[in-house]
Amino acid sequence: MRKVTLIRGARQLLTLRGPCGPRRGTDLGNLGIIQDGAVLIADGVIAEVGPTRRLENLALARGAEVIDASGCVVLPGFVDSDAHLVRGATQKPSPRALKTLALRVLEDAVHCGTTAFETKSADLKILRVHSALRELPLTLVSTFVAAGLTLDAAERVLALVRRRKLAEFAETAPGAPRVNVLSPVIAFDTSGECYPDARMLIDHGAAIALGTGVNPPNLQTTIALACNAMGMTPAEAITASTINGAHAMRRAGSIGSIEAGKSADLTILSVPDYRELPYHFGVNLVSLVMIRGTVLVERSEVKWPAR
């Protein structure tokens, strides 16, 4: 029996539908908004997207589990293309301790609306942790980076990484990236470090994605900083944290936008307008997170005792 879910009544449904390839220039600010929007999901995959009235009348919607998003913003799950789940430590924790720590960080990130992660490391112990976490029901892409290694050492480690399938991608040669991943939280955490000049890059036609770059990975904070310190508009920052992040991690065919055929990775924000997102610094606005059609986070209302 098919599992069918209807998310209905979204005040703003940000589909992020648009041209193929990473968004640049004015396309970076196009969120593909549907007012009073709805998403119909079947077996973890988006089946239909459109106005609530139309989707409610579809045959597939009959008997569907209904999630009421009235007054809320519905958007694709955030995509963190520079996530740091665990770092090397001088105390040399055990693999189990590292995995436990990384899992806790992942849970915190999912609570804040992130549903996909690209993690990078040159440390084999950390790459093993990343590999172990790929069993979780979310998108987790692991990349080996050869930063700080000589060419011979990088080739030896890369051979081991490939043999043990510890990473999906490798970064070993310098060159212009297809998507520029910016991490404003690093500048915020590092005294005296300048923020990346996102406005200049966008105005010159560069494709921009946003990553947290630090632990814990919270893309809501990253979006707020991108808008307040890097000259990005809320629409540009959301695009950079969803579909362009998906392009950066080579997953745009399955995640990053709300389109038929893609994985039902969605976040519902408890605000009526997406432009409010940068103005709630440090506040988790997420009311629901869905990954592959399954609700993983649902924040209930406060229940005051009867007087």
For residue 307, being part of any structural domain is answered with no
Write the pLDDT tens digit of every residue in 183-228. 988 877 666 568 889 999 999 999 999 999 887 789 999 999 999 9
Tell which wins on pLDDT, 244 or 124: 244
Q: Quick one: average pLDDT of 70-86?
A: 94
Res. 130: pLDDT tops 70 = yes
In this predicted structure, what is the pLDDT of residue 60?
Answer: 96
Here the CATH number for the domain that contains residue 149 is 3.20.20.140
In this predicted structure, what is the pLDDT of residue 257?
Answer: 98
Cβ pair 127, 145 in contact under 8 A: no
Cβ pair 145, 166 in contact under 8 A: no
Coil, strand or helix: which one is 181? strand
For residue 303, being part of any structural domain is answered with no
Q: Quick one: 198 and 84 in the same domain?
A: yes
Q: Quick one: 73 and 105 in the same domain?
A: no
In this predicted structure, what is the pLDDT of residue 215?
Answer: 77
Q: Quick one: 84 and 208 in the same domain?
A: yes
Res. 11: pLDDT tops 70 = yes
Distance CA 114, CA 76 (A): 9
Cβ pair 211, 183 in contact under 8 A: yes
| pLDDT band with cut points at 50, 70 and 90 for residue 125 | confident
In this predicted structure, what is the pLDDT of residue 86?
Answer: 80
Which residues on adjacent β-strands are paired with residue 208?
180
For residue 33, being part of any structural domain is answered with yes
Phi, psi of 225 (to 5 degrees): -70, -40
Q: Quick one: 275 and 138 in the same domain?
A: no
In this predicted structure, what is the pLDDT of residue 182?
Answer: 94
Q: Quick one: 70 and 169 in the same domain?
A: no
Here the CATH number for the domain that contains residue 20 is 2.30.40.10
For residue 305, being part of any structural domain is answered with no
Q: Quick one: 9 and 122 in the same domain?
A: no
Q: Kindly report the number of other CB atoms within 10 A of residue 160's CB atom.
A: 12
In this predicted structure, what is the pLDDT of residue 238?
Answer: 98
pTM: 0.91
Distances (CA, A) of 52 to 7, 62, 83, 237: 9, 13, 35, 26
Distance CA 80, CA 50 (A): 26
Tell which wins on pLDDT, 250 or 121: 250
Tell which wins on pLDDT, 33 or 156: 33
Q: Quick one: 226 and 280 in the same domain?
A: no
In this predicted structure, what is the pLDDT of residue 176?
Answer: 56
Q: Quick one: 190 and 219 in the same domain?
A: yes
Res. 1: pLDDT tops 80 = no
In this predicted structure, what is the pLDDT of residue 144?
Answer: 85
Q: Quick one: 108 and 178 in the same domain?
A: yes
At 244, the amino acid letter reads N
Domain encompassing residue 293: 4-77+256-298
For residue 281, being part of any structural domain is answered with yes
Place of tokens 């936008």: 257
Q: Quick one: 109 and 191 in the same domain?
A: yes
| Per-chain mean pLDDT for the chain | 90
In this predicted structure, what is the pLDDT of residue 77?
Answer: 98
| pLDDT band with cut points at 50, 70 and 90 for residue 88 | low
Place of tokens 């709300």: 258
Q: Quick one: 91 and 27 in the same domain?
A: no
Write the pLDDT tens digit of every residue in 235-285. 999 999 999 999 999 999 999 999 999 999 999 999 999 999 999 988 999
Task: Quote the number of domains for the chain.
Answer: 2
For residue 306, being part of any structural domain is answered with no
Q: Quick one: 204 and 125 in the same domain?
A: yes
Distance CA 29, CA 181 (A): 17
Write the pLDDT tens digit of every residue in 146-187. 776 677 777 787 888 888 888 888 776 865 568 999 998 887
Tell which wins on pLDDT, 96 or 50: 50
